[in-house]
Amino acid sequence: MAVTSTSLASQLSGRLRRSCSKLDHFNSHSFFDSIHSNLRLSVAGKPCRGVVAMAGSGKFFVGGNWKCNGTKESISKLISDLNAAKLEPDVDVVVAPPFLYIDQVKNSITDRIEVSAQNSWVGKGGAFTGEISVEQLKDTGCKWVILGHSERRHIIGENDEFIGKKAAYALSQGVGVIACIGELLQEREAGKTFDVCFQQLKAYADAVPSWDNIVIAYEPVWAIGTGKVATPEQAQEVHVAVRDWLKKNVSAEVASKTRIIYGGSVNGSNCAELAKKEDIDGFLVGGASLKGPEFAVIVNSVTSKKVAA
**Active-site residue list:** 149, 219
**Nearest-10 Cα torsion for 244, 250, 254, 258:** -60
Please check whether residue 244 is in contact with residue 255, taking contact to mean a CB–CB distance below 8 angstroms: yes
Cβ distance 56 to 258 under 8 Å?
yes
Distance, CA of 127 to CA of 125 (rounded, Å)? 7
Q: How far apart are CA 99 and CA 47, in angstroms?
A: 47
Burial class (CB in 10 A: 0-12, 13-18, 19+), 130: exposed
Helices and strands counted in the chain (H then E): 13, 8
Contacts of 235 (CB under 8 A, 6+ apart): 218, 262, 274, 277, 280
Contact assessment for residue 145 and residue 116, using Cβ atoms and an 8 Å cutoff: yes
Q: DSSP letter at 216? A: E
Burial of 250 (0-12, 13-18, 19+ CB in 10 A): middle
Distance CA 160, CA 148 (A): 8
Compute the distance between CA of residue 192 and CA of residue 185 in angstroms, rounded to an integer. Answer: 10
Please, what's the largest Cα pairwise distance for the chain?
A: 60
